[in-house]
A and B are shown apart, each in its own frame.
Chain A
Amino acid sequence: EPEVTQTPSHQVTQMGQEVILRCVPISNHLYFYWYRQILGQKVEFLVSFYNNEISEKSEIFDDQFSVERPDGSNFTLKIRSTKLEDSAMYFCASKELADEQFFGPGTRLTVL
């Protein structure tokens, strides 16, 4: 069964460093998402992406964040200068035309 994959599973970085989180959505899916979950809190929407552009972004998704689909398979989230409060689990999701979003296993980001 096809699945969304994410790498790395755990990323540790120093405050102020740039990180790139990678996702490979399911191959025939058209819509892509990033969500964030700070430990012990709810899952929050960051950004949605369709047809090579951002469809919607939340107030969390400020100028420090960017997304890209550099080729036909990868979907990346870049944080330019990480802050302590960026420590969280980051989930990638994708969907076809139908309703269900399929989630990846997540990347745990730890900012020291």
Chain B
Amino acid sequence: AQTVTQSQPEMSVQEAETVTLSCTYDTSENNYYLFWYKQPPSRQMILVIRQEAYKQQNATENRFSVNFQKAAKSFSLKISDSQLGDTAMYFCAFMKHVKGAQKLVFGQGTRLTINP
């Protein structure tokens, strides 16, 4: 079974700073996807960024980038130039890369607060 661990329950930074959220996972699969979801106070789940395990290049989406270390089973999210609107819960998630109705396995989440 797959597990996802986020070791930082809460983080807080000043606006415009860079912040890195940690995620580690455990799997025996070779092909899989990793995701970061953002959950603002509205509790909507919003996809921030995704990484396919077979791709060596780290994914980037504007101010969001990941550091994917497959051998270490680590998948951290870096938010550059943080904004007040980035305040939210952030969940790391894993999904097998096989055909079919594959489920997402989530970590416990990190509550990120951006201070003005």
Chain B contacts to A: CB under 8 angstroms: 33, 42-47, 50, 52, 91, 93, 95, 97, 100-109
Contact = CB atoms under 8 A, between A and B. Distances in A.
Interface residues of A, number: 25
Contacts of A44: 106
B104 A89 contact: no
Contacts, number: 56
Interface of A: 31-33, 35, 37, 41-45, 48-50, 55-56, 89, 91, 93, 99-101, 103, 105-106, 108
Dominant secondary structure of chain A at its interface with chain B = strand
A87 to B, nearest CB: 14
B101 A99 contact: no
Contact of A99 (B42, B44, B97): B97
Contact of B95 (A35, A43, A99, A106): A99
B19 to A, nearest CB: 20
A56 to B, nearest CB: 6
B106 A91 contact: no
A103 B103 contact: no
A91 B42 CA distance: 13
Contacts of B106: 42-44
Closest 6 A/B residue pairs (Cβ): A48-B101, A55-B101, A103-B45, A45-B103, A31-B101, A43-B106
Contacts of B50: 99-100
Nearest to B33: A99
